[in-house]
Amino acid sequence: MANVAAPGPGAVAPASTEAPGEPQAPAPRQIAVSYRALEGQSQRIIIPVKLNGRVTAAMALDTGAPGTILFTPLAERLGVLDEGSNRLMTIAGGIGGRTLAVLVVLDSLSVDEARTEFVPATVTAPMSDAFEGLVGMDFLAGYSVHIDTQRHRLVLTELPGSDARPAGHDEGWWRHTFSQLGGQERLWHQVHLALAERVSRSEISGDGSAELLGFAARQEREANELASRLERYASNHSVPREWRRE
């Protein structure tokens, strides 16, 4: 995004190409946010992010991350790891390999006035002491992004609303999210059934069998609830039925 100098005194403004009385489209909203640029020797864009409308955290902007990542201490502050908060055990993959993680859904994520709702997020161990998580492309998709490295400012220009982007998300986001949560629902249903069968055949014994089976049953319930929340959210925003299939 180029910087345009303001006209000097006496400068003549260019003639308008709009016909007299013709309504002009409103200018797209721009949101400018100051950021911290350094994490040791690494260049980072670290911005204040408000989660669920109540907890503000320093998070790094990561255009290479497809989704939002919360480090465990931040997730604990938010209470999204508490019992009954619709958290699911899952696998997170990255450059360092695959590791156990937790999948949660945030009610909202805001950067200044830029806001999105129903945000799937992966909870992992901390990667740095300089920030508390990552904001990825799922949030940035609703904006064009300009980074002013001289003034350390992030400028988000809101994309115009469109029927092709209900709730600010395109078809790809909706299909991916339904696939992600639907896959978790089927996975935990199968795990629960398999464990129940093994317990019934006495293939799992000892004091931990009931706890293991109970854990699988809870995960299946949590997955069902997350899938139901997504379906309600899609219905409230008139998402086409074909986008809700994998």
Per-residue pLDDT band at 97 (split at 50, 70, 90): low
- pLDDT reading at 215 higher than 90: no
Token pair of 132 as six digits: 């508390």
Instruction: Give just the sign of the alpha carbon dihedral 115, 125, 105, 165.
Output: positive
Q: Nearest CA to 227 among 139, 84, 126, 118? A: 118
Per-residue pLDDT band at 20 (split at 50, 70, 90): low
* Mean pLDDT calculated for residue range 189-212: 77
- pLDDT reading at 58 higher than 50: yes
Token pair of 72 as six digits: 């465990």
Q: Which amino acid is at 221?
A: R
Segment of 15-19, 36-40, 90-94, 189-193 carrying the highest mean pLDDT: 189-193
- pLDDT reading at 24 higher than 50: yes
Query: How confident is the model at residue 36, as a pLDDT?
Result: 86
pLDDT digits (tens, 9 = 90+) for 25-55: 677 889 999 998 776 556 789 999 999 999 9
CATH architecture of 30-160: Beta Barrel (2.40)
Query: How confident is the model at residue 149, as a pLDDT?
Result: 86
115 has which bridge partners?
A: 110
Which position has the higher pLDDT, 84 or 78? 78
Query: How confident is the model at residue 243, as a pLDDT?
Result: 95
The DSSP symbol for 117 reads: E
- pLDDT reading at 99 higher than 80: no
Per-residue pLDDT band at 208 (split at 50, 70, 90): low
Can you tell me whether residue 30 is helix, strand or coil?
A: strand
CA distance 87 to 149: 37
pLDDT digits (tens, 9 = 90+) for 144-189: 899 988 888 999 998 887 888 999 889 999 999 999 999 998 999 9
Does the pTM surpass 0.95? The reply is: no
pLDDT digits (tens, 9 = 90+) for 130-150: 899 999 888 888 888 999 888
Q: Nearest CA to 242 among 180, 182, 178? A: 178
Token pair of 152 as six digits: 């350390």
How buried is residue 194: exposed, middle or buried, by Cβ count under 10 Å (0-12/13-18/19+)?
exposed
CA distance 159 to 84: 36
CA angle, 138 as apex, 133 and 139 as ends, to 5°? 70
Q: Nearest CA to 219 among 245, 200, 198, 193? A: 193
Q: Which amino acid is at 53?
A: G
Q: Which amino acid is at 188?
A: W
Average pLDDT, the chain: 83
* Mean pLDDT calculated for residue range 190-204: 80
The DSSP symbol for 2 reads: -
Angstrom CA distances, 163 to 54, 156, 160, 234, 240, stand at 30, 21, 10, 13, 10
